Structure formats: C-alpha cells, structure tokens
C-alpha cells in the first residue's frame, strides 16, 4: 500500500467530504428546528451554481478580473439562494406547519421537482462549462496532488462551519434558534418571533448551499440542472450519519462520508483480493451508515430522542 496513494485518497475524501458537510448543514439546521427534511435543498445547491455560472459569464465577458468576478458571482448566488430559501419556506412549508408530518414532506419533493424543471427550462438541458476563476495548477505534497481550488474548498468549508457554530452558540440569534428547536411554543411565549427565526434558518442554510454549489462547479468545471439531486442525497446521508439535527454531527458526517467513499472505492478491491470492486463504493458507504444506526440510532453525535419529544 504505497503511502502517496493513501495520502491522495485522504485528500480526495477531505475535498469531497467538505462539500457534503456544507450541504448536510442545510438539512440538519432545518431538521433541528422544524423536524422537517427539506428535500428541495439539493436543488438550492444547483440554483446557486447556475446563478454563479450566469453572473460570472456575464462579468467575465465584461472584462473584470477573475477573482473579483468570483466574489461577485458568489454574492449574487448567495443572495438569490437566500431569497429562494425564504420563498420555499413561506410558500411550501409555513402553511403546512401544523399539518401532519407527511404533508410538508410531499411538498418538499414537489418543490424539488418544480425547481429542477424550472432550471431545465431556464438554463437548458446541456452541460455548461463553469469558468475557471481560481488558478488550478497542481501542487505536489509528498507524492499527492492537490490544486488551489481544492485547497480553497477545504479552507472555506472549515471557515464557514466555524462561523456557523459561533453564530448558533454565541449570538442572540443563535440562542433564539436553539430555543425554537427545543420547544417552539415555549420560545414564542418568551417573546421569540418563531416565523422570522425559521425564515432566517432557511436563508442561512440556502446561503451555505450556494457556497457548496459554486465549490462543486468550480472543482468539476461543470454545471448542470441535474447536479443537485445526487449531491443532496449524499449530503442527507451524511447528515443522518452524523446525527440529523446536530450541527457538529453534519460536519463530522460529511467529512466521514467523503473519506469512507474515497478509501472504500480505492482499497476495497485490493483488500478483498478482487472479490469486491469499486462498484461496491456506495454499498460500502451505506453499510457503514446502517452499522452506525444499529448501534447509535440517532447518528454519531445525534441528540437523544427524549430531548426532542
């Protein structure tokens, strides 16, 4: 087992895992507060990437420097996604807040299909080349290769996650969010404006989704209306793995899933003497998920069920 290959697989896993973690945070924040799985979240990631694509194409054509374009398209994508997150909650979830739990789940799936089809009409069916705004010259690190885009992904993901933890645990808004998660009616009695806290939660999650969307597109150099659905599913898995509803759990789950996938796909064939191959990549990831859930039903860092009920 050559060391440089192992190191490369760990780097691959970290990059992939950082993206999963960012998207997983969106699922987990909404679940923590509403007990709702927002299946449209993957589509918000896609919209973020597509908006950034359109804006950056426009600005690059106008001759602005690439780094400035990246910043502006990031801002535009974050703004649009926050608006979208607010809209989704206002239109599809708020009217159903006191309905049986199945109803908002169905509207979540509906919103996801609507967004995907609207994006298909607006941006077309074809794959778009995502402009390269960061240099991507390879750096050799003890035999493993990593480029600026990937380094940026890991660093930005870490920074955003730290910022979010500070926000939730150190600010007034964070306290309000935790209060609503704990008990919405009690929080309302204490003067917390539940509706605005929930709206802000959706907007924050969507902003993270926009950042993740840009990262994915910049890393692969591709944007497509369908890109959100698989990513959303993987991130949801990561959130469950880490313990859905728990912020640190989403981060841990995301990074872990990235590493499991990359090490699993890379070594399962050699370790099993060719009996299993990389076609078992997903099987391996879900097997770990099942194993974790059997022993810790609420996920790795999940809160105890009694606390929620």
Partner 1 sequence: MPHNQLFLPLAVLCAATLVACGKSEIPPATPTAASELVVKIGASAPLTGPQAHIGKDNENGTRMAIEDANAKGVTIGGKKVRFELLSEDDQTDPKTATIVAQKLVDAKVNGVIGHLNSGTTIPASRIYSDNNIPQISPSATAVSYTAQGFKTAFRVMANDGQQGKVLGEYASKNLAAKKIAVIDDRTAYGQGLADEFAKAAQAGGAQIVAHEYTTDKAMDFTAVLTSIKGKQPDLVFFGGMDPQGVPLVKQLKALGLNAKFMMGDGGYTPKLIELAGTAAEGVYASLPGVPLAQMPGGKDFSQRYEAKFKQPIQLYAPYCYDAVNVMIAAMQQAGSAEPAKYLPVLAKISYDGVTAKISFDEKGDLKGGAVTLYQVQQGKWQALQTMGGNAPAAPH
User: CB burial class (10 A; 0-12, 13-18, 19+) of residue 282?
Assistant: middle
Residue 298 phi, psi (nearest 5): -100, 20
Question: Within positions 212 to 241, which residues make up the interface with partner 1, using CB under 8 A?
Answer: 216, 220-222, 224, 226-227, 230
Quick check: 2 binds partner 1 (CB under 8 A)?
A: yes
The reply on whether position 286 binds partner 1 by CB under 8 A is no
Q: Which of 65, 138, 163, 297 binds partner 1 (CB under 8 A)?
A: 138
Q: What is the nearest approach in angstroms of partner 1 to the Cβ of residue 306? A: 32
Stretch near partner 1 under the rule CB under 8 A, chosen from 7-15, 58-66, 68-76, 167-175: 7-15
Question: Closest approach of Cβ 45 to partner 1, in Å?
Answer: 12
- Using CB under 8 A as the binding rule, whether residue 126 contacts partner 1 is answered as yes
Extract the runs of DSSP E, i.e. beta strands, from 133-288.
Answer: 138-141, 144-147, 222-223
What are the tokens at 111? Answer: 């919103």
| Residue 271 touches partner 1, criterion: CB under 8 A | no
| Alpha carbon distance 225, 50 (integer Å) | 8
Does residue 68 interact with partner 1 by CB under 8 A?
no
Residue 25 interacts with partner 1 (CB under 8 A): yes or no: no
Whether the Cβ atoms of residue 49 and residue 214 lie closer than 8 Å to each other: yes
**Would strands 138-141 and 144-147 be described as parallel, antiparallel, or unpaired?**
antiparallel
Write out the two tokens for 171.
């600010």
For residues 293 and 164, what is the distance between their CA atoms, to the nearest angstrom?
26
> According to CB under 8 A, which one of 135, 163, 277, 297 is a site residue for partner 1?
277
Closer residue to partner 1, CB minimum distance, 37 or 89:
89
* Helix (H) or strand (E) run with residue 6 in it: helix 3-34
Residue 139 has φ and ψ, to the nearest 5°, of -110, 135
> Which of 169-177, 245-253, 270-278, 295-303 is the region at the interface with partner 1 (rule: CB under 8 A)?
270-278
Is there binding between residue 135 and partner 1 (CB under 8 A)? Answer: no
Q: How many residues of this chain interact with partner 1, rule: CB under 8 A?
A: 53
Q: Which helix (H) or strand (E) holds 128?
A: strand 128-129
User: What phi and psi, each to the nearest 5 degrees, are found at residue 147?
Assistant: -115, 175
Comparing CB distances to partner 1, the nearer of 158 and 222 is 222
Decide if residue 297 touches partner 1 (CB under 8 A).
Answer: no
| Sign of torsion over alpha carbons 139, 142, 143, 146 | negative
Closer residue to partner 1 (CB): 31 or 284 = 284
Residues that bind partner 1 (CB under 8 A): 2, 5, 8-9, 12-13, 15-16, 90-92, 94-95, 110, 113-114, 117-118, 120-121, 124-129, 136, 138, 140, 145, 147, 216, 220-222, 224, 226-227, 230, 261-267, 269-270, 277-279, 281-282
């Amino acid at each position: 087992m050559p060391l440089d290959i192992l190191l490369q697989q760990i780097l691959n896993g970290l990059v992939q895992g950082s993206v999963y973690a960012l998207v997983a945070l969106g699922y987990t924040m909404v679940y923590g507060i509403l007990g709702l799985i927002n299946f449209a979240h993957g589509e918000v990631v896609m919209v973020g990437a597509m908006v950034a694509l359109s804006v950056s194409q426009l600005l690059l054509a106008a001759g602005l420097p690439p780094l400035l374009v990246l910043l502006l398209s990031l801002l535009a994508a974050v703004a649009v996604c926050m608006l979208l997150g607010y809209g989704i909650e206002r239109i599809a979830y708020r009217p159903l807040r006191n309905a049986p739990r199945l109803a908002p789940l169905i509207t979540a799936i509906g919103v996801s299909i609507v967004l995907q089809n609207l994006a298909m009409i607006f941006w077309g069916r074809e794959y778009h080349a995502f402009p390269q705004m960061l240099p991507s010259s390879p750096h050799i690190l003890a035999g493993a290769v990593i480029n600026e885009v990937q380094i940026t992904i890991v660093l930005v993901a870490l920074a955003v996650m730290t910022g979010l933890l500070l926000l939730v645990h150190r600010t007034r808004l964070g306290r309000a969010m935790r209060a609503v998660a704990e008990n919405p009616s009690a929080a309302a009695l204490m003067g917390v404006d539940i509706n605005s806290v929930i709206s802000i939660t959706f907007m924050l999650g969507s902003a993270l989704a926009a950042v993740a969307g840009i990262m994915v597109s910049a890393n692969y150099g591709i944007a497509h209306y369908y890109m959100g659905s698989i990513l959303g599913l993987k991130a949801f898995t990561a959130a469950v793995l880490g313990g859905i509803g728990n912020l640190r759990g989403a981060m841990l789950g995301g990074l872990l899933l990235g590493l499991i996938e990359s090490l699993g796909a890379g070594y399962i064939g050699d370790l099993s003497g060719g009996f299993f191959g990389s076609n078992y990549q997903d099987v391996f990831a879900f097997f770990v998920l099942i194993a974790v859930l059997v022993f810790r039903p609420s996920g790795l860092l999940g809160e105890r069920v009694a606390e929620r009920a």
